[in-house]
Amino acid sequence: MTRKMKPTAKKAATRRPIADRLIRKMRGYAGAKVVDLSAVREGSKNAEALQKTVASRETLADYHPAHAIYVYAQNQTSVMAEQLMMLPEMDRFARLFENAQDEYAPSGPPMSPLTLSFFTCWAFFDAGIGLGRETLGTTTMAVGKMFGMHEDLLRVIGLMQDSRMAVYVHEGLDNDKILLRELVTNRICKAICPSGYQGRFGELWYARVFPPPFAGLDEHVVFTTPYVLIDPGERDWLAYFERTLPHETAEKRTAAYERHMKWGPARDYWPEFVFEAYVNHRHDVIFLRGLPDVPESRPHSEANS
C-alpha cells in the first residue's frame, strides 16, 4: 500500500551556536557596509552586484508557479549566504563552501556531474557543521527571522532546508505530471520536472523533490536535474538500504533513512557518490551507475582508477 507524500524530513537540531554568535555580533555590523541588512529585512534587495544574480520577475513569469517560488527563494538564500560568509563568525562555512567548489567544480556535465542545483542545495541545506548540524540555510533563516525577513520567504526557505535527496521509482505519467514513489517509504507524489525530462515507467531517480510551496498548488517540484540510476536496479538499491539502515521499528527505520539521505555517514557522502557514479548525460538528465557502499560499482571510484 502506498501513501501520499508529505514533507517528512526531520527538522535539524535547534542548537545553533554559530547562528547565535552571529546574531549577537550582527547588531555591531548594522552600520557597516559589509552586510546590507535591508536584504535581510525585505528578502528582495541586496548589494547591487549580487542582486543581479537573482532571477528577474520577467524570467520567473515563464516558470511554473511552484518552481518560480523555489527559484526565487534559492536565489535570495544565495545572496544572503554570500554576504554572511564575509563575516568572521561564518569562516567555517566559507571554508567548507570554497573547498567544495574547488573539489567538485559544480557546473553540470561535461565539466562536472554535480549540477549547480544539486551543489547549491547540498551546500546550503545539507552540509551541516558541528553537533547541531548548522547549515547556511538554518543560519540564514535565524538571521532573517531576527531582522524581519518576510514570513513567506522564511517558510519557503524552511521547506528547502527540511528537504533531502531521495531515490524514487518512476510510476508513469498523470497527464503532464510525473508520478514518483519514494523507494523506501513508498510515499507517492505528483511532480513537475523543470529540466524537461519526463522519464519512463520503472526508472530509478535520485533527485531532490520539493513539496508544493503554498496552498492551492498541488505539484511537487523536482528541483534538481534528475539523476537516473541506470544500474543496478530497484532490488539492489533496496538491498543497499537493508544493510545500511538499522533493523528497528518501521518508524525508527524511516527516521534513520531520512537522516541517511539528508546527512549521509559523512558530509560529502552523496556528492562523492554522484561524482564517482557519473556515466553520461543529456541536457535534461544525468545518468549514474553503482551503489554508494560498493566502490567497484562506481565508474570513477578509486577502486576503478
Q: How confident is the model at residue 3 (pLDDT cuts 50, 70, 90)?
A: very low
Quick check: 256 pLDDT over 90? yes
Rounded Cα gap, residues 184 and 142, in angstroms: 32
Q: How confident is the model at residue 1 (pLDDT cuts 50, 70, 90)?
A: very low
The model scores a pTM over 0.75 = yes
- Burial call 150-161: b when 16+ CB within 10 Å, e when fewer: eeebbebbbbbb
Query: pLDDT tens digit string along 69-123?
Result: 999 999 999 999 998 998 899 999 999 999 999 999 999 999 999 999 999 999 9
pLDDT, tens digit, 9 for 90 and up, residues 127-164:
999 988 999 999 999 999 888 889 999 999 999 999 99
Share of the chain above pLDDT 90, in %: 71
Residue 216 buriedness (CB in 10 A; 0-12 / 13-18 / 19+): exposed
Domain ranges of the chain: 13-161, 165-304
C-alpha distances in angstroms, 285 versus 52, 195, 207, 228, 263?
A: 28, 7, 11, 7, 24
